[in-house]
Chains A and B, each alone.
Chain A
């Protein structure tokens, strides 16, 4: 410990230095020439080299050079070199400092204390430098470990969260890898009935908690859309899962878009995201679909309403979805990039590659802060609508079991209607048990639930759907419905289902829904029902999905004839 190598010609000066050092607890080795010094330097564990520079100056420079050129381990700071010189103006001293000697002191020194202080500080320096190098090395190991873990996680994410089960025609995405670990999620797939589903979402917060939630979301999305579940059902399960697993301050904002090519309709559910842009690339008209719900993971699924907004679509339409990062990029004046700029850009050039949007945001905020934490997706409907529904269905279809005849009957008492808000999911599941028809499940669900709700709202509760057309009418309608529902003391709704095979690979399903309430003269099927009107839209939908829709006198019973047919690839 504290071993010092003293290099210099023996004599009284050397003896004096040696005795001062020894007296202060250092162990001193002596070398009289450069060769001996270098040998000791290589073999002994030294803390400091002191060179008395008086003679053979050139060999002293050579010694320092050799000492300083020995390759060092990463955590080794090297041995400091102190020069003791009589002539501090000499060229040789400058050279020694230039090749790496740490410090010098003029001989004879003015005070012994000064000499000892220099020795001590150089030895301390060595420890400091080597500590620093050790931490640096430690950090660099940690860093490479992290990089490796990051890479592995990214692969898992690519497989899980960003995999597309089937290539979706017309879909373009810009998803930066930085955004993945900031909790961005993009999922897409085609349902058995040929509907295209996409979901873009964003967890609050960063890092692990945000990333972890993405995996169950992907599982729910893929497994449920494969089974032909509706957006409403999928969102409800997603929300319940997140409410369960997420800490209270973390939530999931997302947009789900379902394209129904055969009906030329899209269902959009925006929960806490910036508006979805629907752009007509010919007229350049833009519709914004704003957030209609709290983000997922905050309230229980019973407290939320997952009904999406339904819009009509055309071949010229494009949907553009994006995460907050794009529009919330701020410039130095604290101004945000904003939705309007995005809208203008896509209006000017509907075919523009998505990366240009993110570049524009980067230029806008002067690139200082922008870390490309954005995900953008664009869906061109031309490609989707160009494929026939049969093609889309065939892409995911299995053979349907041969059609057989069966009947099912469900009767809902008024108590059941009060407490069971969504009985139709169970009804459709029962059909699936009789005849697995995953491909047609969504349509059956729509038909049966529209007829059921129609029976409850207009038949039993005697609500006038014209209310919905008034200002705030929708809310008023919902309130009124709740009030009357709670006050209801009698009444029932009956759903009867009958399958009539039409050959081996097709059948009609008769959906007969009746209620015990007042005759419902509200139904005016013969008049044209505008799709923009709030009332009557449900029945309009049924007429488009079914072969026929008929009512008895007074409309206390309705019968829809729904036909399914196996699509062969």
Chain B
């Protein structure tokens, strides 16, 4: 399965990304965020199934960050594999999000 899947539990929105996280995920990702923005206290982006992430995916994370008012505790990236971690590290995104392997 390639795409964006979301589960809502309490006020946690769990968003699973699978495949190459790039511009083609924009609509789904954005819709998922917007649908839950009012009610969610936390977004957990699960990247276990993400094989790659390009700079437009980084851009989408920045949009999420803005929508959550740059509150680092409201966005968490989890199950980050080595390839994706490398990309996040080069961009120094650990300064903006809490990132867990």
Contacts and interface: CB of A to CB of B under 8 A. Distances in A.
Interface residues of A, number: 21
A179 interface: no
Interface string B48-71: 000110011011101100100000
A250 interface: yes
Contacts of B95: 294
Interface in A392-435: none
A271 B93 CA distance: 11
Given A324-B55, A334-B51, A249 B63 contact: yes
Contact of B92 (A272, A324, A334): A272
A41 B91 CA distance: 70
A295 interface: yes
Contacts of A274: 90
A203 to B, nearest CB: 9
13 contacts: A248-B62, A250-B59, A251-B55, A253-B91, A274-B90, A290-B90, A291-B91, A291-B92, A293-B92, A294-B95, A295-B91, A298-B96, A334-B51
Interface of A: 204-205, 248-251, 253, 271-274, 290-295, 298, 324, 330, 334
Given A250-B59, A271-B92, A294-B93, 19 more contacts: A204-B56, A205-B55, A248-B63, A248-B66, A249-B56, A251-B55, A251-B58, A253-B55, A253-B91, A272-B91, A272-B92, A274-B90, A291-B89, A291-B90, A291-B91, A295-B91, A295-B92, A324-B55, A330-B52
- Tell me if B's interface is mostly helix, strand, loop or mixed: helix
Interface residues of B, number: 17
B91 A294 contact: yes
Given A204-B56, A205-B55, A334-B52, A251 B93 contact: no
Nearest to A324: B55
Interface of B: 51-52, 55-56, 58-60, 62-63, 66, 89-93, 95-96
Contact of B55 (A204, A298, A330): A204
- Tell me if A's interface is mostly helix, strand, loop or mixed: loop
B45 to A, nearest CB: 15
Contacts of B96: 294, 298
A369 to B, nearest CB: 12
B69 to A, nearest CB: 12
A64 B58 CA distance: 63
A36 to B, nearest CB: 62
A205 B56 contact: yes
Contacts of B60: 249
A343 to B, nearest CB: 16
10 nearest A-B residue pairs (beta carbon) = A249-B59, A204-B55, A294-B92, A272-B91, A248-B66, A291-B90, A249-B63, A249-B62, A204-B59, A248-B62
A253 B62 CA distance: 14
